[in-house]
Structure 1
């Protein structure tokens, strides 16, 4: 109770309240505009948050992060265009409901499911905080190094079908972090006698280039789309009652979101897929999924909104971001000399509780805002793409220049913007570069400090948590190798079946194999489509 009161005392400031309001409303607006997304908004706002108090700056960013998925459901349901990448699964059942005249019901259900997922996640993690406070001090340099390594491996293996390119991009991010003065002996690395590289490549410059500028270029080269949206009639409160009729789906989906959010590199997509698959397999009407199922909509929206609070666990407890958005927030901590990790839970637990309370209040504010302002809010869907592109372009360059008043930073940001644009056009991931930069720096520092007490390779994993993390790394790699081998085997069998389908025996065998392959690969194809779905065209 004392921790709770201390957290409320930290939040009971006028600037924190304004930050909560701006973050919650701004996040909904950002999410509702296809083509922007929270990553772009957070990247643009990062330079401004450096001059704020840590709790104020982080509250704004958390507000955008947590509420953007609420707003992203609006265009996903109304015009079949996800406002954010993680709302792609919402289109499967949300838009079919709109097509049969149930847009108000779909939006109400999405808001209610999102609210339940967000609140469930925060409450679970507040109850779990005392355990984290006891476990976090057990992580030394070696454990944090292994946890960071596990995070990079999970990020790479999560990009199914693009594993090699994800590994290459993560390695590129790690290399970018090594440019400049190394942290121990301060010798120059990869500066090529260029003075501007001596200070290294600024993470914020890379973030603004890869996310904001690349998206601006993408929007500017496209065409403006005309959308027609019908005004909603009636209230939006019925979703709360309908959600209460599906407590099992909502509870399990929120649990998946919490568990997947705490694992670095996994996040919303895996949580959504697992929740949606569970809901479909246990439903009395599985055929309705993808055709306007209320259970499918609940599973998708509950899972993705349960992730943001859970994703703060590895960031706060270990200082390890699990995705690009939490990696950006990490820079706010560093600017204010607030070092996330075991010491934060030991020495500043009220600050951690205040962040979770901010997320709890945020969900309440967003739900109230959406229930009374959706008809006005849906107008932002009609904003032209090219206008958005110009606004993002201007704000991005202003943000980059304000960091160090450097034209060189603007040039570097433009270079990374072109790189990000090329990656978007090729449907290749950008996130591994950012996580490579952040986790690569953590790994280098922790490896150097951990090796001081290591005499043999086995000494590196001679402690329980280090051994567990090492075993987890081996398991993840083993499962990935097995999955790649099975995919190769199934592809080979499919080619063999197609080759022999001209014969009667081959046709019979082909039918049997096709059935078996369809059943065996159904889950795998659905998972792959989650990661390769071309949602970046609108994000």
Structure 2
């Protein structure tokens, strides 16, 4: 009870509450604009949060992270264009409802399912706090190293069909983390006698280049298109009553979101596909999925909104980010000398509980805001792409320059922006580079610390948690190798429809949706997905 009261005292400040309000409303607006997304917004805001208190800066970023998927459902349902990449599945059942003049019903279902998923995951997070507080201190240097290594492996294996590319990009990110002064003897590595490389390549500069600048270049090369939103009928409150008639679908979807959110490198896409497939298999009307099924819409939205709170578990307990957005938040911790990991639950438990309560309040604020402002948010979908691109470009360079007042950083960000643009055009993942930079630095520091007590190789895994993590790593590598050999030796005898569905799943699960404004492609992908399970 004392910790709970202390957490309320941390939150009961005008600047924290203002940050929560701005982050939640801003995240909804960002999500409602196709082609921008939370990664771009968080990357632009990162330099500004460094001058704030840790709880204020993290509250802003959490607000954007947790609320953007709410807003992303609006264009996905009304104009068949996902506002964020993780809202792609929402188009399958949301847009057919709009074509039947049931757009408000679809929006209401999306809001209610998102709210349920968000609240469910926060409750799970609070319930797991006592367990985390007991388990986290058991993680020493070797356990955190193995957990980070497991995260790297999961990031690579999650990109099915692109594992070699993901491995190469992750290795590139790990290489970038080694540039500059090494952390023990402070000798220069890979600087080539260039003084501007002595301090290393800044993570925030790379983030702004790969996410913000690359997206700005992509928006600037897109053609502006006039978007007409159809008239929607119905009440925005009826979805909450309809959600109560599908408790099993919502609970299973939210559970998938919680479990997948806790696993580094997996995230929203896997949770969505598992929940959507399970809901379709358990439904009494599976033929309605993809044609305006309320169960399908609930399954996709409840799953992706349950992930943000669950993704905070490995970040807070071990200091290991599960995906790009939590990797960006990790930098805010480090700037303010707040080190996430086992010690955080022992020394600053009130800070951790305050973040949980902020996530809880966030979901309530977002739903109330959406119920009164959906009509205004719909207009954001009509902002021209090139205007958006110029705004993102300008804000990105301002953010990069404000970090260290360095023109060199702007040049580095521009190079990574062009590199990220090329990756997006080639439909290759960007997230492995960022996670490679973050996890590579963690692995190096923890490996150096662990080797001081290791005499023989067996000493590295002579403790229960270390041995368990080692076994999990071996099993994942063995199963991945076995599947790869099996697929290489066995000819693919699947039907053309199933092959198309498999290609589509790999493309979406690759973490990048290239063309947000190409609605015809999304319709074609939806039709190919209909064949799966038929």
Both structures adopt the same fold (TM-score exceeding 0.5): yes
> Is the deviation greater in 51-60 or in 476-485?
476-485
Counterpart of 2:21 in structure 1 is: 21
Counterpart of 1:504 in structure 2 is: none
CA distance in 2: counterparts of 1:410 and 1:142, whole angstroms: 37
Cα deviation for residue 486 of structure 1 reads 3.3
Structure 1 contact 43–208 (Cα < 8 Å) conserved: yes
CA distance in 2: counterparts of 1:171 and 1:532, whole angstroms: 17
Structure 1 contact 235–371 (Cα < 8 Å) conserved: no
Cα deviation for residue 9 of structure 1 reads 1.1
CA distance in 2: counterparts of 1:437 and 1:285, whole angstroms: 46
CA distance in 2: counterparts of 1:319 and 1:369, whole angstroms: 33
Report Cα offsets for 1:472-523 as digits up to 9, x if no partner.
1111112212222333244x244xxxxxxxxxxxxxxxxxxx56x978x798
Structure 2 contact 144–318 (Cα < 8 Å) conserved: yes
Alignment pair present for 1:335 and 2:322? no
Counterpart of 1:258 in structure 2 is: 258
Alignment pair present for 1:39 and 2:17? no
Structure 2 contact 98–232 (Cα < 8 Å) conserved: no
Structure 1 contact 232–375 (Cα < 8 Å) conserved: no
> Is the deviation greater in 90-99 or in 325-334?
90-99
Residue 533 to residue 322, structure 1, CA distance change in 2 (3 Å): closer
CA distance in 2: counterparts of 1:32 and 1:484, whole angstroms: 39
Counterpart of 1:537 in structure 2 is: 515
CA distance in 2: counterparts of 1:197 and 1:538, whole angstroms: 36
Cα deviation for residue 361 of structure 1 reads 0.2
Report Cα offsets for 1:159-211 as digits up to 9, x if no partner.
11110010000000000010000000000000001000000000000000000
CA distance in 2: counterparts of 1:16 and 1:534, whole angstroms: 32
Query: Could you say what the CA RMSD is over the residues aligned between the two structures, in angstroms?
Result: 1.5
Residue 209 to residue 299, structure 1, CA distance change in 2 (3 Å): same
The structure number with the bigger radius of gyration is 1
State the aligned residue count.
517
Report Cα offsets for 1:394-425 as digits up to 9, x if no partner.
00000000001000000000000000000001
Counterpart of 1:401 in structure 2 is: 401
Alignment pair present for 1:528 and 2:484? no
> Is the deviation greater in 473-482 or in 64-73?
473-482
Residue 311 to residue 162, structure 1, CA distance change in 2 (3 Å): same
Cα deviation for residue 100 of structure 1 reads 1.4
Counterpart of 1:65 in structure 2 is: 65
Counterpart of 1:218 in structure 2 is: 218
Counterpart of 2:347 in structure 1 is: 347
Partner of 2:514: helix, strand, or coil?
helix
Report Cα offsets for 1:429-475 as digits up to 9, x if no partner.
00000000000000000000000001111110000000000111111
Counterpart of 1:325 in structure 2 is: 325
Counterpart of 1:178 in structure 2 is: 178
Alignment pair present for 1:11 and 2:11? yes
Alignment pair present for 1:291 and 2:288? no
Structure 1 segments (4+ residues) deviating >4 Å: 521-526
Counterpart of 2:81 in structure 1 is: 81
Cα deviation for residue 233 of structure 1 reads 4.3
Partner of 1:536: helix, strand, or coil?
coil
Structure 2 contact 101–232 (Cα < 8 Å) conserved: no
CA distance in 2: counterparts of 1:525 and 1:467, whole angstroms: 36
Structure 1 contact 82–535 (Cα < 8 Å) conserved: no
Counterpart of 2:479 in structure 1 is: 479
Cα deviation for residue 524 of structure 1 reads 5.2
The gaps in structure 2 that reach 5 residues or longer are 518-534
Give the 5 Å matches for 1:45-194. Answer: 45-194=45-194
Structure 1 contact 121–254 (Cα < 8 Å) conserved: yes
Cα deviation for residue 230 of structure 1 reads 3.0
CA distance in 2: counterparts of 1:534 and 1:314, whole angstroms: 23
Partner of 1:321: helix, strand, or coil?
coil
CA distance in 2: counterparts of 1:174 and 1:321, whole angstroms: 15
Partner of 2:322: helix, strand, or coil?
coil
Counterpart of 1:374 in structure 2 is: 374
Structure 1 contact 216–390 (Cα < 8 Å) conserved: yes
Q: TM (normalized to structure 1)? A: 0.94
Structure 1 contact 63–362 (Cα < 8 Å) conserved: yes
CA distance in 2: counterparts of 1:243 and 1:473, whole angstroms: 39
Structure 1 contact 82–88 (Cα < 8 Å) conserved: yes
CA distance in 2: counterparts of 1:295 and 1:177, whole angstroms: 44
Residue 100 to residue 235, structure 1, CA distance change in 2 (3 Å): closer
Residue 67 to residue 533, structure 1, CA distance change in 2 (3 Å): closer
Cα deviation for residue 231 of structure 1 reads 4.3
CA distance in 2: counterparts of 1:525 and 1:483, whole angstroms: 16
Cα deviation for residue 535 of structure 1 reads 2.2
Residue 533 to residue 185, structure 1, CA distance change in 2 (3 Å): closer
Alignment pair present for 1:198 and 2:213? no
Counterpart of 2:389 in structure 1 is: 389
Structure 1 contact 273–530 (Cα < 8 Å) conserved: no
CA distance in 2: counterparts of 1:523 and 1:456, whole angstroms: 48
